[in-house]
Structures are given as structure tokens and as C-alpha cells.
Structure 1
Amino acid sequence: MPIWKRNLFVCWFGIFVAAIGMSQIAPVLPLYIQHLGVNSTSSIAQLSGVTFGVTYLISAVFSPIWGHFADKVGRKPMILRASLGMALVIGCMGFAPNVYVLIGLRLLEGVITGFSTACTALIATQTDKEHAGYALGTLSTGSIAGSLLGPVIGGFIEENLGFQPVFFITGALLLIAFIMTALFVKESFVRQDKKANSIKKIWEDIPEKSLTIILLVTFFILALGLYSIEPIVTVYVTQLTKGTAATHVALLAGLAFSASGLANIISAPRLGRLSDKIGAHKVILIALIVAGIIYIPQAFVKNPWQLIGLRFLLGLAIAGLNPSVNTLVKKITPDSLVGRVFGFTMSAGYLGIFGGSVLGGQVAAHLGIQYVFFVTSALLMINAIWVYFKVYKKLCLKEKVRS
């Protein structure tokens, strides 16, 4: 097996497990907080929001920092650091004596993160150009699928085994990812930047600043769109469920949430290959438009299965965004800055997850659940227009000049 394929397999597994580790707590969080001694319904709701969101918020701050170290000392050491650190921290969550210790551990998890940043930088720099789109497309399925399937996996483990095994099993899988990385990942790292530059200096060294900003915003909108439904999916499925199906609301809600993740696993590698052939900018534009359109009928569904089907179609379309954005970032960024710039993209993604959860809840509370889909669709369409004028037309012109 070629080295790049072996690296890709190990990194995919690690990213998938790391994403599960950050998201699997969602369905069990209110129950676990109650288990830890909090009985007030309002307090449980407030503490659940803080406990879930703090990891992504802190991760957004630390991802560029760990990306900087990945460029200085190598990407493999950063993968080892993050996987071992997260294995220990998530395992310790099962022993939390109260909710405040749990929040502290979730905060520490956000500090330790950087696994996805280092893996993305490793694959981007160690894979030849002919396979870069496919490799980054495949890698992206690990993060998105893990984040979307995590809540279902966490809920299943809790229902069958209890609260603590949710954390112990995830920690054990991350420990396996650490061992696999140590044994099988190979990196030919040459340090190119010997100075500890500030963020301002790094930004000055980026050759395509405006294009980089657009790609970061697109990454943010992608995550925001995927997670805008998270706060209201169970409520929406409850409204759509009738008769005997009412006893399976949790299962149907989990399927609706995870349908996009399953579709992503299927579609992302194929769209990654397509971006290698026709250009990542074209895939980004098409994916934004199609995803924006698919959001609209979700507001008019009559039963949970229609919602699940549309979420699956959404996953097929939106899968083209993540790998194509990463492919363009790789193409326009010097190798010496790849880790730090991918750190910025991960920060944008984490902020999108946090922002999407907040946006979905606020829009649903003030305007109604249906408007969550309308607002998200509008954001994707506006992003598509911006990409068309600032990215698509610009890169198509360059292609014509070269030909």
C-alpha cells in the first residue's frame, strides 16, 4: 500500500473518532448533568448549552496555535499529542464528580484539540497533487461523519450500557488512534519556517488573502448550515410524528441528524475526485447552490421520513464543499504555512458549529422552526453569489489565460 494511502487511512480513523469524541456527548448531556446532581430543568438546559459549546469555542482559539506548531515541529507529533491528550481527557469525563468538573474537562478538550488540523496538513503535504482532492475529500468524511454520527452513537451506548461507557469507549478508540499513528504514519517533514512569526506576519505571507478569506467564510457557512438544525431537530421530528411512530422520536431524530453524515461518507471522495478533474472552485459553487435549494423543502415536509430523505440529499451535495475548500487552500498556500492556515479553517468550522447551534435555536424560538431552513438557505445562496464573483470567475479566467 502506498504511504499516502496508509497515512490517509490512519488519519481518517483518528479524525472520525476525535469528531465522535467531541459530539457524542450531545444526546446524553442533559441526562448526565442530571445524574451529576442538577435537578432544575432550566439549570440543566443552561449548563447543557455551556458544556456542549465550550469545547468548540475554545477549539476555535487553539486550532491555529496547534497549526503553527505543526509547521514548526511536524504534523505527526501534533497528531500524537492530540490523540493521547483527548483519550485521557475524555476518559476522565466518565469519573466527573460534578457538572463543573465536566465543564472543565470539556474546556480542556477544546485546548488539547488540533488533531484534525494536523491530519489535514499532513495529508495535504504528503500526498501528490494527482490524488490531493481524493485524499482530502476522503479525510473530510471522517470529521463530518464523526460529528454527525456522534450523537447517535453516544445515545445508543448510553441507552444500552450507561453514562460512563460513552466516555470510556471513546477514550479507548482515541488511544487506538494514537498507537496506529505512532506505528504506521510516515512523514517526510522539512522545517521551512524557523521563525516564530506572529499571526499578523503569517497573514502578510499568505499570497491570496482575499481568496483565503472567502474560503474561510465558506467553511464557516458549511458548518453553520449543518448544525443549524441541531437544537430543533428533536422538536421538529416530534411535530411531524404521529401514531405509533411517536414512541420512536429519539430514533427518528437521530436518523434525521445522521442522514447527512452517511451521505457525506458516500459522496465526499467522489466529489473530491471530481474537483481534481474539473477544478475545486466549480464543485464549491455547484455544491453551495444545490445545498441552498435542498434546505427549502425541508421546511414543508409532512413526516419524518421526508425530512430524513432531504437531509440525505443535503449530505450528498454539501460533501463537495469541505474537500474542495481544503484543496483550494492547499493550492494557494505555501507549504511552510499550510498547518497554520488549516488551523484557521478548522477555527472557522468550529465557530460555524457553535454559531449554527445558537442560530438554529434563536430563529426557531423567535420565528418558528421552518424559518431555520429559510435563513440557512439564504446564507448558502449569498455565499454562492460571493464565490461566483470572487472565486469562480477569477479562477476560470486564470484557466483561460493558461490555456
Structure 2
Amino acid sequence: MSSPDVDNPAVADPEQRYWRRNLAVGTVGSFTTLVAMTLLVPFLPEYVRQLGVDDPAAVVRWSGVAYGATFLTAALTAPLWGMLGDRFGRKSMLVRASLGMAVAMTLLGFVQSVEQLVAVRLLVGLLGGYSSGATILVAAQTPKDRSAWALGVLSSGILAGNVVGPLVGGFVPAWVGIRSTFVVCGAVIFLAFLATTFLLREPRTASRAPRAATAPRRGVWSQVQRPGAVVALLATSSLLLFSTMSIEPIVTVYVEDLGQLSHAAGVAGILVALTAVGSVVAAPRVGRLADRVGHTRVVIACLAAAGVLALAQAFVANVWQLGVLRVLLGLSLGGLLPSITAAVRHLAPPDAVGRVLGLGVSAQYVGQVAGPVLGGLVAAQAGLRAVFVATAVVLLAAATLNLVVLRRGGARDRSTTTPEIATAPPTA
């Protein structure tokens, strides 16, 4: 089955007419906005000091609050932006997010106190959400037989932005200064705003869905095919971010525990980057596989593989073994979120895709915030290696959850028209 071409007026579904162009714009826009967003990670503590905080413990505390503030408001508002996207058009949400982020990131360069820093970081999360909006747009517009691949390509851009941002942030402030760096970030995001405004296309028929604005929330869920499967997939996305982020804060300490005492932070940074690179490489390839054999099979297999690899990291004897396992873990994780998103998209009603996927974005943010906190608590109470064991348990539990819930639904819905989600291979 061939996929629609760019700007092909003969495509039956008008919302799929521009999917290739919009995928390219969304991927580049997500990459540039996330580079600008994550650029501050290396120098955030130094900026807190410049704002008048001297006590080392307070610097760490305020840095954590300022960094996490964006995720808090982003998690709370993601379903709202998804609902408004269903009503007023998904392009409008990307235009809003890119312009709002450009303004908010620029304002970060003009704050005069740490309280103002936190307030503007809250504003960034409130106004932002470009990559999550792009995910919803791509999921809604891409033909079903290419959805996981397209979401994998977009995921590669998102992951690459998260990797490149901190690397660039390590030396840009030394060239232009910290405050000017935020102005540069705002300018980069403004370029994404211009590209989104003038290059991204959305058919007029897809720009509004009046029923989505008036239908009650219960009505939306009554239209969802197999709501139990959707809830399981949304929970899986949260557990996935929870388990992976629980490891990140302890990597440096674990590297030291393995005997790498010199340049431990640099080695830890390389290990984290290797995981992300593995995911960047795997995401579109695993997505293409999921489009062929079914998303459920890929989700369960990748979760099981990630659980085994996380468990193996608890028993490594040196940094080299840890590095190999981190690359393999990245490969197994790369296609998970695209496959989960594609599966949810196929089960959601067309006029409520944004709302349902918005809940998924919120679930991911919850996992992203809770993971490091609980991971640190486990490490403090039971040791570093226990964190990897706990992470493996969470990933394997998620695999079991999907195996039970989705297979049960697949057996019940064997005669329905959702072969992409059923446990049997797709028929189309």
C-alpha cells in the first residue's frame, strides 16, 4: 500500500495530504526548540549563583526547582493544549508554542532574582510544548501504515535535541555570556516559529473539529476503542520515563563506584549520550518494524529487552561493560514511545486525538519528574545497584501489563478493524 505524496490533492483523507512536509518541519522545529530549551542544563547552577544564591545546598535546591518547574506546568497544560488543538487546529498550537517559548526563553536572560527565574521557567512550561504538539500533529496526519515510522523520525529529532543542547550549553555561555545565551535561545526558537508559520500546512477541513469542543469528556472515552488498552499504554509511557529517568541522576556516582575516579562526570555524560544516540538510531527503524508486525508486539518486546538490560547494569564490573549495556538499552528504548503513541492514536476518535495524546504527554512528564526523585531515594536507602534492579522490575512489570491487557483486548476484538494494535500481525 503506497503512502500519500506531499501536497497530493488526490489523497482521500485531507488531513494526510501534507504529512511528509509537516513531519520535516516538526522534526527540525522540535530539534531546534529542544536544543535551546536544554542548553541551560550545564550552567543553570552558575546562573543561580549570579542571581545572589551563595549557599551550595541552596544553589542545588534552587537549580532543581527551576529545572523542574517547566515540567510541572507542561504536565498540567498538555491535555488543555491537546483539546484546543482538536478544536482550533494543531498548527495553531505549534505556532503558539514556538512564539511563546521564544518570548519566555528570552525573558530568562533578564530576570533579577532566583524567584523570577523559577516564575519564568514556569511560564516556559505553560506556553511551550512544541515537541508534544508536533507529536500530536504527526500522529494525527500520518497514514496509519507509516505512523510508527514517522513518529520514530520525530522522536530521533527530539532525542537529538536533548543530547545536543547540553553539549552546546557547555561552551556557548563562555563566548557570549549567560544572559546573552538566553537571547540566542529565544532567537533560535523564533526561527522555528517562522518555519512553522510559513511552511507547515494543515487542511482547512482538519483545522477545526467543533464536536471536540462540545463533547463531554465521558463522550470522548466512550468513543475510544478498547479504553482499557489506551489506559495501559498511557500508564506504560509514564512508567517508561519513570524508570529511565530514575537512573540518570546516579550515573556519575555509579561510574565512581566502578573505579572511574578521574573525570567521572565527563564519563557519565558520555554514557548518557550513548544511550540517547542508541535511541536516535533505533527510533525510526523500530517504528518501521512496528508498522509491519504490529505495535503491541514491538512494545512488549522492547520493554522486556530494556528490563533485562537494566537488570544487567546492576552486575557490571567496569565502565566498559556499563557503556555497552547503555548503548543496547538505548536501542531497545528508541522505538517504544513512537510505537506507544501510534497505538494510542489508532484507538482514539479522530476529533479527540489531541486530548488523548495530551494525557499521554502529561503521563510522560509525571514519570520524568518522579523518576529522579524516587531513584535517589532508592539509592540512598538500598544502594546504587538497587536502582537498576528496581528499574528492571518496573520495565518488566510494564511489559507484563501490556501483555495481559492488550492480548485480552486483542482476543476480544479479533474481528474489529484495528489490526495495528491486535496481537495478530496486521492484515493491511
- TM-score where L is the length of structure 2: 0.87
Equivalent of 1:193 in 210, 230, 235 = 210
Q: Is the 8 A contact 1:62 1:113 kept in 2?
A: no
In 2, Cα distance between the equivalents of 1:172 and 1:307? 39
CA offsets, 1:191-212, max 9 Å, x none? 3333344544433443321111
3-state SS of the aligned residue for 1:94?
helix
The aligned residue for residue 335 of structure 1 is 350
Q: Is the 8 A contact 2:99 2:193 kept in 1?
A: yes
Q: Give the unaligned 5+ runs of structure 2.
A: 7-17, 415-421
Out of 112-121 and 256-265, give the one that drifted further: 112-121
CA offsets, 1:193-235, max 9 Å, x none? 3334454443344332111110111110111122112222222
3-state SS of the aligned residue for 2:249?
coil
3-state SS of the aligned residue for 2:225?
coil
Q: Is the 8 A contact 2:293 2:425 kept in 1?
A: no
Matches within 5 A, 1:295-306: 295-306=310-321
The aligned residue for residue 271 of structure 2 is 256
CA offsets, 1:308-333, max 9 Å, x none? 32221111001121111011111101
In 2, Cα distance between the equivalents of 1:305 and 1:156? 27
In 2, Cα distance between the equivalents of 1:343 and 1:313? 29
In 1, Cα distance between the equivalents of 2:254 and 2:33? 28
After superposition, the Cα gap between the structure-2 partners of 1:164 and 1:300, relative to the gap in structure 1 and judged at 3 Å, is: farther
Out of 99-108 and 127-136, give the one that drifted further: 127-136
After superposition, the Cα gap between the structure-2 partners of 1:197 and 1:112, relative to the gap in structure 1 and judged at 3 Å, is: farther
The aligned residue for residue 121 of structure 2 is 106
In 2, Cα distance between the equivalents of 1:137 and 1:396? 28
In 2, Cα distance between the equivalents of 1:316 and 1:402? 24
Q: Is the 8 A contact 2:282 2:335 kept in 1?
A: yes
The aligned residue for residue 419 of structure 2 is none
Q: Is the 8 A contact 1:208 1:332 kept in 2?
A: yes
The aligned residue for residue 256 of structure 2 is 238
Equivalent of 1:213 in 212, 231, 251 = 231
* CA deviation after TM superposition for structure 1 residue 98, in Å: 1.6
After superposition, the Cα gap between the structure-2 partners of 1:280 and 1:107, relative to the gap in structure 1 and judged at 3 Å, is: same
In 2, Cα distance between the equivalents of 1:5 and 1:402? 23
- Say whether residues 1:350 and 2:365 are aligned partners: yes
Equivalent of 2:240 in 185, 209, 222 = 222
Q: Is the 8 A contact 1:63 1:346 kept in 2?
A: yes
Number of residue pairs the alignment of both structures matches: 400
Q: What letter matches 2:228 in structure 1?
A: S
- TM-score where L is the length of structure 1: 0.92
Q: Is the 8 A contact 2:40 2:166 kept in 1?
A: yes
Q: Is the 8 A contact 2:293 2:426 kept in 1?
A: no
After superposition, the Cα gap between the structure-2 partners of 1:146 and 1:228, relative to the gap in structure 1 and judged at 3 Å, is: farther
Q: Give the unaligned 5+ runs of structure 1.
A: none
In 1, Cα distance between the equivalents of 2:362 and 2:351? 19
In 1, Cα distance between the equivalents of 2:104 and 2:168? 19
Q: What letter matches 1:229 in structure 2?
A: I
